[in-house]
């Protein structure tokens, strides 16, 4: 009887999935960030301050075990990834699903010149002629996170993405809060957060 119990304990341990940890950071500052212009799919580059921020994040993460970096295809995220990965040679994979939300007709506008709060309202769930609908955007990021969980179980993954992407990532792990506008949930430039599956 005792042997059977031990065997069952071993079976349970073998079937248990290892905890997986996600590190998420936003790209460094760009000139459009500084001007408070929405840049969505615009392929802007890091400014001097953004490069310094990425270097600080590199130093902050230097002792962190990272098995893989998943990066947005946009230049500002790729530049940030390159700086963070200096001297480490961690495998980098580009994933379109963590590209910034498409601002469509609002691309390049100043936040004050359109209803930015309504744009980030999950409750209103507004539809636009060109811009990406918020629930569609959330679905895209949630699909990405579901696939990361399946494909990289037990790994430690760094995601380098955008302010907009950091919002559904937070909601995926912590739930969508009962508030009108979700824009306040975003990460600052090169801020790092950790989540566990």
Q: What is the pLDDT of residue 127?
A: 97
For the chain, give every domain's residue range: 19-196
Q: What is the pLDDT of residue 93?
A: 98
pTM greater than the 0.95 cutoff: no
Quote the CA–CA distance of 88 and 76 in Å, as a whole number. 20
Q: What is the pLDDT of residue 18?
A: 59
Q: What is the pLDDT of residue 19?
A: 79
CB atoms within 10 A of CB 177: 12
φ, ψ for residue 192 (rounded to 5)?
A: -120, 135
Cα–Cα–Cα angle for 66, 166, 77, rounded to 5 degrees: 60
In the predicted model, residues of the chain with pLDDT beneath 70 are 1-18
CB atoms within 10 A of CB 36: 12
Residue range 77-97, pLDDT digits in tens: 999 999 999 999 999 999 999
Class at the top of the CATH hierarchy for domain 19-196: alpha beta
The CA distances from residue 131 to 58, 69, 115, 137, in Å, are 33, 28, 13, 10
Quote the CA–CA distance of 148 and 65 in Å, as a whole number. 17
φ, ψ for residue 23 (rounded to 5)?
A: -105, 130
Catalytic residues: 27, 100
Quote the CA–CA distance of 66 and 168 in Å, as a whole number. 22
Report the Cα–Cα distance between both ends of the chain, in Å, rounded: 35
The CA distances from residue 164 to 5, 88, 100, 142, in Å, are 50, 27, 6, 13
């Amino acid at each position: 009887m005792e042997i059977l119990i031990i065997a069952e304990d071993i079976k349970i341990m073998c079937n248990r999935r290892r905890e997986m940890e996600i590190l998420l950071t936003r790209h460094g500052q760009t000139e459009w960030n500084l001007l408070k212009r929405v840049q969505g799919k615009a392929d802007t580059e890091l400014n001097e301050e953004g490069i310094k921020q990425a270097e600080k994040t590199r130093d902050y993460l230097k002792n962190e075990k990272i098995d893989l970096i998943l990066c947005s295809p946009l230049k500002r995220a790729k530049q940030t990834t390159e700086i963070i990965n200096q001297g480490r040679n961690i495998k980098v994979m580009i994933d379109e699903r963590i590209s910034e939300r498409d601002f469509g007709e609002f691309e390049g506008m100043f936040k004050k010149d359109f209803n930015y709060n309504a744009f980030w309202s999950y409750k209103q769930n507004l539809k636009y002629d060109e811009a990406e609908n918020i629930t569609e955007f959330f679905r895209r990021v949630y699909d990405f996170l579901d696939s990361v969980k399946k494909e990289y179980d037990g790994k430690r993954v760094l995601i380098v993405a955008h302010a907009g992407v950091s919002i559904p990532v937070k909601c995926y792990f912590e739930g969508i809060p009962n508030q009108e506008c979700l824009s306040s949930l975003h990460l600052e430039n090169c801020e790092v957060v950790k989540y566990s599956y």
